[in-house]
Amino acid sequence: MTSTTTTLSVTLSSAGLSAAELLAVARRGAPVHLDPAAREHVASVRGHIEHLALGAVPVYGVSTGFGALADTAIPPSLRHALQRSLIRSHAAGAGPEVETEVVRALMLLRARTLASGRTGVRPVVVETLLALLNAHITPIVHEYGSLGCSGDLAPLSHCALVLMGEGRARDRDGAERPVPELLAEAGIAPVLLEEKEGLALINGTDGMLGMLLMAIADLDELVRIADLTTALSVQGLRGRDTVFRPELHAPLRPHPGQAASAANIYALLAGSEIVADVAAEGSRVQDAYSLRCAPQVAGGVRDTIEHARTVAARELASAIDNPVVLEDGTVTSNGNFHGAPVAYVLDFLAVVSADLASIAERRTDRMLDRSRSHGLPPFLADDPGVDSGLMIAQYTQAALVSEMKRLAVPASVDSIPSSAMQEDHVSMGWHAARKLRTSVADLRRVLAIELLTAARAIDLRAPLTPSPASAAAIAVLRRTVEGPGPDRFLAADIAEAEARLLDGSVLAAAEDVVGPLS
């Protein structure tokens, strides 16, 4: 459920929107308002559309049909019906409902493009869209309906339908109520769409972009959590810290993400009695790849996130519509609604998310195997044989990783023609975004199980103590999850570990000791 406790207020201007502002509105319910200068600009551009609407020359989306019907002229008396019919017919989604934060993100991003003055809508259209957000009226949007080209058509149409006073929506408490009732309660008048406005409301990459921005924010945190769980596993497995020294990374292989990950892990291991004992023992030259190569994998994840961030920033600076209004007032068709650039990086992130989970699962499995764990009991069980310990937690991890590998198959390589072959190549970016959301949630669960396992392994290394940062992280977990002992209801422990990663408290405890991780 979206929180409404934030005090941040966002002003939407023609200059655009930042990722932080998007997250504040979509996830924390920040209010958003239209900048007066942007309103004036939008009104000025609208004048060009009204002039064209009176002319004899057909203009796509203004005085013609849509898609394969673009050559069909529409007389002025039917243009309200044209826009209304467009929204009703395109609100053709199916399947489960999309999450509230996703719907809020796509509404805000569409409002951002409308506020750019490149779409030719009236200011009332932008302001009404923002009013829905501020009243926490959330249109019901369905899982299926977008091909990621010509815009996220069905999802945006379900939102536009509510703008018209129709369709289905939920209130701030998540209850579905009649749309006219919700609008009246909030003092919002339904919009009668004029020329071009229906098309402008649905012709954008807003759904896939919103999900990309939220995935980047989540992965920024999860890749730091992965460095923390790696450091915990290194100690649980009596690993060495020498491979994380800075001179082995940036000077030899200058991938910035790798250097950042290695530095994080090295800092998180500082002061560990377990690591010091391993160094004094000197019995092993090298650790397994899942420990030794962790910075190379997590570093590649970081660098992929940075590429995705670059693409997202460019898309945030874009005005996606077709046709679009140029600076000189010309209204012209274009292909900027094609979601390929966004779809590609959504798929890239699903690939690296799966691989980060895969290496974490390998570390977990190693801690549970007495032949590879360097002295730990089988499955970290209290009484092996009577107790199964964390045996099945690794099964759950393996199931999650297996799903993530399937989700890493790219959606953007697929294309099914639509609209009587007028739209003969599409991006499938919406589907890339939907599967990435599942992958990110699965990654958090995989890391939660590694946290649970490594914390128990470290406890079993007593009286040797872990690093101060590790001890602080484990202490947060131990508030709700007991340490080693007889078997108990394990699903509850996994859920608690996941919750501590989701609320950020475990990571924050470690960072309180070593400072912010890169």
399-443 pLDDT per residue, tens: 999 999 999 999 999 988 888 787 888 999 999 999 999 999 999
Q: Is the model more confident about 59 or about 216?
A: 216
Any idea which of 215-219, 267-271, 316-320, 352-356 has the lowest mean pLDDT?
316-320
**Band (4; pLDDT cuts 50, 70, 90):** very low
Coil vs helix vs strand at 323: coil
Mean pLDDT computed over 317-339: 88
Read off the tokens for 47: 């004048």
Residue 515 reports pLDDT greater than 60:
yes
Residue 362 vs residues 75, 349, 394: alpha-carbon distances, Å: 66, 20, 9
Clarify whether 60 is annotated catalytic: yes
Summarize the confidence of residues 261-289 as an average pLDDT: 94
Please report the pLDDT score of residue 221 as a whole number.
98
- CA-wise closest residue to 349 among 255, 429, 426: 429
Write down the pLDDT at residue 246.
97
Residue 380 is classified by DSSP as G
pLDDT number for residue 120: 92
Q: Reply yes or no on whether the pLDDT at 2 is more than 70.
A: no
**281 versus 312: which is more confidently predicted?**
312
- According to DSSP, the β-strands at 169-170 and 176-177 are antiparallel
Average pLDDT over every residue of 136-143: 98
pLDDT at 58: 77
d(CA 31, CA 24): 9
25, 104 contact by CB (below 8 A): yes
Q: Beta strand 138-139 with 169-170: parallel, antiparallel or unpaired?
A: antiparallel
Q: Is the pLDDT of residue 490 over 70?
A: yes
Give the three-class secondary structure for 58: coil
- The answer to whether residue 151 scores a pLDDT higher than 90 is no
Q: What is the mean pLDDT of residues 347-357?
A: 98
Which residue did the predictor score with more confidence, 56 or 515?
515
Alpha carbon distance 485, 99 (integer Å): 39
Which of 66-70, 108-112, 167-171 is predicted with the least confidence, judged by mean pLDDT? 66-70
- Considering the entire predicted model, what is its pTM? 0.95
* 3 — pLDDT class (breaks 50, 70, 90): very low
The catalytically annotated residue of 60, 266, 289, 395 is: 60
Max CA pair span of the chain? 88
pLDDT class for 1, splitting at 50, 70, 90? very low
Integer Cα distance of 198 and 122 in angstroms: 11
Give mean pLDDT, residues 268-297: 94
- Which two structure tokens, joined as six digits, stand for 325? 């209004």
Give Cα 398 to chain centroid, integer Å: 23
Pairwise CA distance, residues 262 & 266, whole Å: 6
Listed in sequence order, the DSSP H helices in 78-122 are 79-90, 100-114
Least confident of 14-18, 41-45, 88-92, 156-160: 14-18
High-pLDDT (> 90) share of the chain, %: 82
Q: Under 8 Å CB-to-CB from 159, ≥6 apart: which residues?
A: 103, 106, 107, 110, 129, 132, 139, 141, 201
For the chain, which domains are there? 10-204 (1.10.275.10), 211-514 (1.20.200.10)
**Is residue 169 over pLDDT 50?**
yes
Q: What is the mean pLDDT of the chain?
A: 94
Tokens 């001179």 belong to residue? 247
pLDDT for the residue numbered 67: 65
Which stretches of 165-252 are assigned E, i.e. beta strand? Answer: 169-170, 176-177
Torsion sign over Cα 378, 381, 386, 391: negative
517 pLDDT band, cuts 50/70/90, is very high
**Residue 484 confidence class, pLDDT cut points 50, 70, 90:** very high
User: CA-CA distances (angstroms) from residue 331 to 44, 59, 120?
Assistant: 14, 8, 9
CA distance 388 to 429: 43
- H/E element holding 133? helix 123-134
Whether the CB-CB separation of 393 and 494 falls below 8 Å is answered with yes
Question: Tokens representing 59?
Answer: 């203009």
* Dist. CA 271–CA 231, nearest whole Å: 12
pLDDT-derived band at 267 (thresholds 50, 70, 90) equals very high
Does 246 sit behind a cis peptide bond, omega within 30 degrees of 0 on the bond before it? no
* Size of the chain in residues: 518
Alpha carbon 40 to its chain's center:
33
pLDDT category at 6 given cuts 50, 70, 90 is: low
pLDDT at 37 over 50: yes
Structure tokens belonging to residue 72 = 């069909």
pLDDT score recorded for residue 182: 98
What residue type is 482 in one-letter code?
E
Q: Among 58-62, 121-125, 164-168, name the one with the lowest average pLDDT.
A: 58-62
- Joined tokens for residue 370: 């007495």
Distance in angstroms (rounded) separating the CA atoms of residues 270 and 287: 18
- Where residue 212 falls among pLDDT bands split at 50, 70, 90? very high
